[in-house]
Amino acid sequence: MKIAIPVANGLLNLHFGHCKSFALLDVDLDNKQITARTDIDAPPHEPGLLPAWLGEKSVDLVITGGMGQKAKQLFEAQSIKVVVGAPSETPEALVQSYMGGTLVSGANACDH
């Protein structure tokens, strides 16, 4: 499984669509381990671009602080699951919490 997390200064960036980079983490769900991390620069902001772009990178899940409804629908169309309302933590901490079933998500920071 590949998980994408928008990052700024090493932590989750709460505003998904305007982030400058993503951490892409490969995980082994059976062993609950992160097997690789790659950081990539995001393309220039353009509505509707990120779902297809991350889909091309074989992303299965996005963990973010906030995302608009239209973006969530576009990710669903790419068969990419989205978890919104995540706290501003390191990508590794978020993924470990997700794999352990302890990721607590709050309000969608961008629900507009």
Structural domain that includes position 20: 2-100
Angstrom CA distances, 22 to 29, 59, 75, 102, stand at 20, 11, 16, 22
Residue 49 belongs to a domain: yes
Does residue 45 lie within any of the structural domains? Answer: yes
Q: What is the pLDDT of residue 105?
A: 80
Residue type, 45: H
Task: Give the integer Cα–Cα distance in Å for 63 and 59.
Answer: 11
pTM of this prediction?
0.92
CATH number of 38's domain: 3.30.420.130
19 lies in some domain: yes
Residue 57, in any domain of the structure:
yes
CA-nearest of 109, 111, 71, 62 to 87 is 109
Which residue carries 């973010």 as its tokens? 64
- The answer as to whether 107 is a domain residue is no
CB 60 within 8 A of CB 84: no
Is residue 105 in a domain?
A: no
- When divided into structural domains, the chain yields a total of 1
Beta carbons of 85 and 105 less than 8 angstroms apart: yes
The model's pLDDT over 54-101, given as tens digits with 9 standing for 90+, comes to: 999 999 999 999 888 888 899 999 999 999 999 999 999 999 999 999
In a domain, 9, yes or no: yes
The reply to whether 41 falls in a domain is yes
**Quick check: 112 pLDDT over 50?**
no
CA distances from 42 to 11, 16, 20, 31 (A): 15, 10, 5, 30
> In the predicted model, what is the mean pLDDT of the chain?
90
Higher pLDDT, 77 or 46: 77
